[in-house]
Every structure is written in C-alpha cells, then in structure tokens.
Structure 1
Amino acid sequence: MNVMAKAEKKISSAFIYFFGSFGGILFGYDIGVMTGALPFLQADWHLENAASLVGWITSAVMFGAIFGGALAGQLSDKFGRRKMILMSAIVFMVFSVLSGVSPDMGEASAYYLIIVRMLLGLAVGAASALVPAYMSEMAPAKARGRLSGLNQTMIVSGMLLSYVVDFLLKDLPGEWAWRLMLGLAAVPALILFLGVLRLPESPRFLLRKGDEAQARKVLSYIRKNPAEIDQELASIKETAKEERQANQKTSWSTLFSGKYRYLVIAGVGVAAFQQFQGANAIFYYIPLIVQKATGQAASSNLMWPIVQGVILVVGSLVYMWIADKFNRRTLLMVGGAVMGLSFILPAVINWMMPNMNPMTIVVFLCIYVAFYSFTWAPLTWVLVGEIFPLAIRGRASGLASSFNWIGSWLVGLIFPIMTASMPQEAVFAIFGIICILGVIFVKTCVPETRGHTLEEIEEQGTNRGRVKASNPEN
C-alpha cells in the first residue's frame, strides 16, 4: 500500500493536465482524418456522384457521438471520469482498426464503414464530454480557462496531425492511402490509454462518493497551498451536503427544473451553436470546397487542410495566452460577429461582383477559422466544463456534448447535399446568419464564469432560477 502511495505521489500536475486533456487528440484526429481520406475513398469505391452516401460516411462518427456523449455523461457520474476515459480509448482503438480494414464488397462496403464509424463515434462523443468535465474539476478557478483550453489545443493538434498524416500518405496507392489514414487513429488512442492508467480520479467525484481522504490526496498533487486545499474541500463538501439534504435524485427532468434550467440552457445552447455555425463544413470538406472554387482535383488540395490546421493550433495557443485576461462572453461575441461576417461577405461581394476571384471565399474561410480558433472553439468546452452544477454535471455535460454532435452530424451530412444544389457562397451565408444568432444568444442567455469557482457559478444559476420562478413573466 505504501509503495502504491509513493508511486501516486510522483504524479506531477503537468502529467495530470497533459493526459487529462489528451482525449482531445482522438477527437481532433477523427474530425480531420476524413478530410484527406475522402477523395481517395470516393475514387476507390466510385462514390464521386453519391453526395448522400459521402455525407453519411463523413458524418457517421458524429452520429455515434451524439449517443456516446450522453451515455458517457451518465456513466461517469456512476463509475468516475477516469474509468470512462479508459473505456473510450479502448473503443476508439478497436473501431479505428476496423475502419482501416473495411472489406471491399461493392456498395455494402459503404454501409459497413458507416456502421463502424458510428460505433467509433461512441468513443469520440464520450471523450468530448468527459475531458472538459475532468479538466474543469482538476483546474483551480484562476487558471481554469487556460488549463481547460488545453483540451482545445489537443483537439486542433489532433486535427493538424491527421492533416499531416493525410498529406504524407497521399502518394500511396488510393486503397492503401485511406485505409492507413483511418487505421492510424488507433495509435493516439493507445497512448491515451497508457497515460490515463496513471491519472487520479477527479476530487469532486471522489468527494461525491464519500472518499474525502483520496480527494485530499488528489488535490495535493495539483494545489500547492494547504489552505487552498482545505478551502476547496470545504466548498465542495458544502455543495454536496446541500444536495444530500434535499435528497435530490437527478433525472433528465432535473436538468430543466427551476434551479438548474438557466445554466443548462446556457451551456447546451453554446455547445449547439458552436456546430450549427458551420465550422466543421470547412474542416471536413476543405479540399472539396477548393475543388469547387478552382476546378482542381480534391486529392491535389491536401495542403489546404494543413493551412487550416496550423491556423487552429496557433489560435488555440493565442487563446491560452488570453483565456484568463478577457471575459468569456466578450470573446464569444467578438468571435461570433467576425465569423458571421466572414461567411456573409463573400456572398455579398459575389452578388455585387459576379466575376469575383473564386479563391476569395477561401481567404474569408481562413479568417473565419482564425477567429473561431481562439473564441468559440475553446470556449465552448471551457463553458461546458465549468457551467453545470456538480449534481448534474455528468448528465448535463453529456447532453451538451450530444447537442454539439447533433450539429456536427447535420453539418457533415447536409453540406455536400447543399453545395450540390446551390452556390457555396449562399451555403456559407446561411451559416453566417447562424453565427450572428449565436452572438445574440450569448448576450442574452449566458452568464459570465471567468474567475468564479464552480460553486459560485452554481449559486449564480440557483439565484437566477429563483428570480425566474418568482417572476415568470420575465
């Protein structure tokens, strides 16, 4: 027992934060890998004129993630964040390999790959829900924005990694290229599994299960000041005590009770808007977007995803620098406004100047990606991790993740269908309007969380719920 305790004490806070957020690599790799694999898969399976089937193959992971996020959220409240992250890594490894060895059976091959990628999506959705919750529960309030932002850095690093892998494999025979692109996703999943084996459980989950001694030990790894540990433990215990006194049993209806409704709508709404704003249309289909704009073959445009990936990584680092210097709401509203204009202006310019250079839309997409990368991309997951009260955090984080993936799935599914029936500029203008609606939502429905402890944020929501209950006309 003493040997185990000594081994545990060697766990550094840097190791905890790194592997606590490493699940984002899996998330990001699978978002990005199909960008490069799709042109080769289309040619190998003769799917060039099958827009619906291409949309389903691309979006199948997101469809599975809808259910993976909700399921993992509930199970993590019962078994813990750490165990569920380990399970996600195993599922990810298995179905990544099965994607890469898809049998060539004609049209049936496409349906096999769709089903396998849906099951892979269970792990991707679980990671998207579990990692922000784990990181927010480990990080101190004053650094929670920056440390939770590690999740976004991992996501975009995973995307960039997949773009580079796609580019390096593009000269292989078509069948081998896409198979290796998809199958190599098992490598970061294995690294995640080995790293998380040494991670401790979240102190808030441990306290919720009554293990105060272990919760204190975990906090000692990541808090330097003993007084800070005592204060945080007391704050968490007080919240847990109030929940026990109320004999509260959480259910889906609990999420929308007067006490929690305000915070749940805010968190789930931000998660949904992040995807319905259309970012993943760029990330999944940028080679096809450039092909439609310039006439060049999509398989020869695999440098553009790398450009987008570099912008995303740089933006995530910018976010970590400014995360705790600006209010969350301010960054979301400024970012959303610029993103909306970046989508709307190409349609306006094309209407005024029909002979517009076709690459103009790609330039505006780069501006969109730049602002998305340090505002909505990281802040969505920071908010999802910190806005929900302890009693409902697992379930509510899962719900937010599911709505996020519903948006991602729909965008991935319908974008090729929309661009087959209308100009690209018009499609992106629709997404631009949704960006502006997201700005309005943040201004009217989302509380400020920067610098507040998780317990203070819960109190804000409770007070707001009481005001709404006593003044229903407001």
Structure 2
Amino acid sequence: MVGEKKISSGFIYFFGAFAGILFGYDIGVMTGALPFLENDWNLQNRAGTIGWITSSVMFGAIFGGALAGQLSDRLGRRKMILISALIFVVGSILSGIAPHNGQLYLIVVRVFLGLAVGAASALVPAYMSEMAPARLRGRLSGINQTMIVSGMLLSYIVDYLLKDLPETTAWRLMLGLAAVPALILYIGMLRLPESPRFLIMNNKLDEARKVLSYIRSKKEEIDSEIRQIQETAREEIKANQKASYGTLFSNKYRYLVLAGVGVAAFQQFQGANAIFYYIPLIVQKATGHAASSALMWPIIQGVILVVGSLVFLLIADKFNRRTLLTVGGTIMGLSFILPAILNLLIPHASPMMIVAFLSVYVALYSFTWAPLTWVIVGEIFPLVIRGRSSGLASSFNWIGSFLVGLLFPIMTASMSQEAVFAIFGVICILGVLFIRTCVPETRGRTLEEIEKIGENRLLEGKSA
C-alpha cells in the first residue's frame, strides 16, 4: 500500500519479546516483597500460607498457558499477548490494594494474574520462533530470556529501592508497579504484526507476505518460506482438520511433544525458582540475619542472570542445544549436591557456602536451561499443533514452578536447606539423562525439518 510505514525488524523482535519483562518482574517481585508482607501480616510461622501466596501466580499460569495455546490458534498470537497485557495491569493494581490480612484475596488475585503470566510464557516463544529465520532462531528467541531476567533484575532493584518505606507501603508498591511495564507492552504490541505462519494457516497470504517483508531481506527467501509453510499446512490440515489434545499424542507427533513438554517440566522441577523466590529467606536461615536486610542478594542473582542471558545470545547458534543443556545440567546438579556432601564432611563450614554454590547454579542455569527450554519449546512442535503443544509445555513448566514455590518453605521447615537442594540436584542429573535419550537436536533446522525428525522416528519404530 502506497505510503504505508514499514515496521523495523528490530522493533518487532524487541516488543515481541517484551512480555518477558512482565513475566520476569512478576517472578522476581515477591522475592523482595515477601519479607515485608510476612512482618506486616505476621506470617513468620505459617509456611503453608507463605507458599500459597508465593506460588499462586504459578498456579494460575498452569491454566493461562493452556488457554492461551488454544485461543492463539483461533485469535492469533498478537491479540492474545494484548489481552495478557491488560490482565497484567488489572491484576497488578488489585494486588497492590489488597486488604490488610487478606491472604485469601491476595492468593485469588495472584491466581488471576498468573493467567497472564502463563499466557506470556506460552505465546512469546511461539511468536518469536515463527517470526525468526532458522539461522537466527536461537538468538532471537533468547531475547525472550534476556527480557525475563531483566524483568527479574528490575523487580529486585525496585524492591531494594523501596525497602526503607513502611512495611505495608513497601510491599504494596512493589506488587502494584508491575502495571507500568504492562502498559508499555500493550502500547508496543498495538503496532506489531501477526505471525506470518498464523496468517498463512488462516488463508491471509497477502498479509503474511507483507509481514515477512519486514523481517526477511530477500524476495526469494520470502517466496520460499511461504511455499514451505503452505506445503506443510496443506498436508497437515488435510490429515487432521481439527487438532485436539488427543492429536498431540498420536503416533505422528508423540515423540516431539514428549520431548518439548519434558524439557519444560524438568526446567522447573530442577528447583531454580526456589532460589529466585526465596533467596532472602535462604540467606536468613543460613546467617540468622533478617530477610529484609538481605535484599542485595536478589540483585546479585539478577545480575548473574542478565549476564548469562547475554552470553547465551553470543553462543546460542554456535553450540548444539543438547550439548549446552548437558553441560549446564551436570554442573547445576553438582552445585546442589556438593553443599550437602561438604556439610557432612565439614559440619562447621561457613553457612554462606550454600549461597556461593547457589550462585554457581544460577550462572550455569542462566545461559543453558533457562533460555534453551523456551527455544526448544518454540521450535520443536509441528505447526498444526504448535499452539496447543506450547500451551501444554507451558502448563507443565508452571506445574513444576508452582510445586517448587509451594513446597520449598514447607520442606525447609522440616529438613536442612542442603538436603532440599540435594534433592533438586538429583532431578538436574535426571534432566540430563532425559536430554541425552529423548530430545532431538534442533539447532539450524527449519521448523519443517524438525517435524520430519518426528515422522522418521515413527517410521523407525514401525520398522523395528
């Protein structure tokens, strides 16, 4: 159209991943708010209530991911991200104005907020992978992880800056300020186009071509990608007009679905969010100092996460996905298991030893399992089931996150922190075994080539 203003690819990729800021802020903000909320509402000896308030967002996210996956196949990725941003705004404001001692109110509101968090975790990887060319998919999808950890670091800094306010004012502002980046996301997404793959699936070829012209440099590249998407779409729509959750576990798709969902589940059951949600309380238990005076530790962890995410952007498409996940998972597991062993051998070792090992864990997690989980979720699922599969993977990821957030304070009330983290360390090692035996390599392959891997696996099974 004459006079139409072209949208830059940088703008598209930036705001396509900006939902990660909200995702990260809401993951991180309770870390600093919890010590003040604990004192304000006298929750020090109520581990179950603390666990529910912390994990209620993740409980909502379980359903948000599944719902967004289904609705995005009908309404589009862009529209669902816009709806999620509005839920973020409302949920953040309602959290900040919770009535005094309104534990149930805050839990319910944070479940509502979790719907948007879960939706963002499912939609952003799918949107970014469908916009990115195969050679850059890992790096561009990794921007989502940089946004997530930047949001976490932002929340830690906000928590630290507000720590000298009266307790009841501090935690309310910490939670309520999430509305600000949500508004920014909504405004930015208004200018973003829909995913070209979604447009082609809905017979909007001209619109898809226009979107691809923003993000592909050559006409031949655009034509080739459109033909490839159309060919795959025709074959799969003919074979299965209406994909259902049963379709996900049919022989044709089961291998790739289990691989993607398994990676997403292991990422959370490995225990990373126990650190991110509770690091001030972990330091308090290790040192005996008040958790509200330990708010510099979340910032340190946040800086490690951001630096790690930037390292990932440099190496994302230079190393195989499986190699990075194997190395990262092994060192992460050892970082959790070694403190328990050393505590048995050296009973009077420094109580801060566990915090040092946790920092090693965070460093490796930051450029391996943290970003690569969402890269794999974004690229491993076949087109016709991508929305539902991404939603299912997101839901399993949030089930793990919810259980870790809920059970960690209960577990540490009944056993040592070293023993709890050793359990997570064993899960890290099991995750590595899963990667080596059940997950195919996806680096540098088009989404259509990855789908062929699942089909070939089916043929191998039939011929065995």
- TM-score normalised to the size of structure 2? 0.99
Amino acid of the structure 2 residue aligned with 1:273: F
Amino acid of the structure 1 residue aligned with 2:93: V
Q: Cα offset for 1:249?
A: 1.9
2: CA distance, partners of 1:122 / 1:326: 34
Q: 1:463 aligns with which of 456, 459, 462?
A: 456
Query: Is 2:435 the partner of 1:442?
Result: yes
Query: Is 2:17 the partner of 1:21?
Result: yes
Deviation readout 1:17-58 (Å, 9 max, x if unpaired): 000000100100000000000000000000010000000000
Q: RMSD of the alignment, in Å?
A: 0.8
Q: 1:321 aligns with which of 298, 314, 319?
A: 314
Amino acid of the structure 2 residue aligned with 1:120: L
Aligned partners of 2:326 and 2:436 also within 8 Å: yes
| Equivalent in the alignment of 1:125 | 118
Q: Cα offset for 1:225?
A: 1.0
Q: 2:98 aligns with which of 87, 97, 102?
A: 102
Q: 1:383 aligns with which of 357, 360, 376?
A: 376
Amino acid of the structure 2 residue aligned with 1:169: L
2: CA distance, partners of 1:120 / 1:245: 38
Q: Cα offset for 1:469?
A: 3.9
Aligned partners of 1:258 and 1:466 also within 8 Å: no
Aligned partners of 1:258 and 1:469 also within 8 Å: no
2: CA distance, partners of 1:441 / 1:412: 23
Q: Cα offset for 1:2?
A: 4.8
Q: Report SS of the residue matched to 1:249.
A: coil
Q: Cα offset for 1:155?
A: 0.2
| Equivalent in the alignment of 2:56 | 60
Q: Cα offset for 1:74?
A: 0.2
Alignment of 1:75-154 (within 5 A): 75-104=71-100, 106=101, 109-154=102-147
Structure 2: state its 5+ residue gaps: none
Q: Report SS of the residue matched to 2:217.
A: coil
| Equivalent in the alignment of 2:219 | 226
Aligned partners of 1:73 and 1:396 also within 8 Å: yes
Q: Cα offset for 1:206?
A: 0.2
Deviation readout 1:311-350 (Å, 9 max, x if unpaired): 0000000000000000000000000000000000000000
Q: 1:41 aligns with which of 25, 37, 40?
A: 37
2: CA distance, partners of 1:2 / 1:56: 55
| Equivalent in the alignment of 2:46 | 50
Deviation readout 1:179-235 (Å, 9 max, x if unpaired): 000000000100000000000000000000001111011000000011111111111
Q: 2:446 aligns with which of 444, 453, 462?
A: 453
2: CA distance, partners of 1:469 / 1:173: 67
Q: Report SS of the residue matched to 1:49.
A: coil
2: CA distance, partners of 1:429 / 1:183: 35
Structure 1: state its 5+ residue gaps: none
| Equivalent in the alignment of 2:300 | 307
Q: 2:280 aligns with which of 266, 278, 287?
A: 287
2: CA distance, partners of 1:325 / 1:185: 35
| Equivalent in the alignment of 2:395 | 402
Aligned partners of 1:259 and 1:466 also within 8 Å: no
| Equivalent in the alignment of 1:188 | 181
1: CA distance, partners of 2:265 / 2:62: 11
Q: Report SS of the residue matched to 2:224.
A: helix
Query: Is 2:421 the partner of 1:428?
Result: yes
Amino acid of the structure 1 residue aligned with 2:425: G
Amino acid of the structure 2 residue aligned with 1:238: E
Q: Report SS of the residue matched to 1:463.
A: helix
Q: 2:247 aligns with which of 254, 270, 288?
A: 254
Query: Is 2:67 the partner of 1:71?
Result: yes
1: CA distance, partners of 2:9 / 2:462: 42
Change (3 A) 1:214 1:56: same
| Equivalent in the alignment of 2:169 | 176
Give identity over the alignment, percent.
Answer: 76
1: CA distance, partners of 2:56 / 2:26: 11
1: CA distance, partners of 2:462 / 2:264: 25
Query: Is 2:200 the partner of 1:204?
Result: no
Q: Cα offset for 1:467?
A: 2.1
Amino acid of the structure 1 residue aligned with 2:434: F
2: CA distance, partners of 1:195 / 1:110: 34
Deviation readout 1:373-430 (Å, 9 max, x if unpaired): 0000000000000000000000000000000000000000000000000000000000
Q: Cα offset for 1:470?
A: 4.2
Q: 1:330 aligns with which of 315, 323, 340?
A: 323
Bigger mean CA deviation after superposition, 453-462 or 269-278 = 453-462
Q: Cα offset for 1:243?
A: 1.4
Q: 2:412 aligns with which of 412, 419, 434?
A: 419
Q: Cα offset for 1:245?
A: 2.6
Bigger mean CA deviation after superposition, 225-234 or 424-433 = 225-234
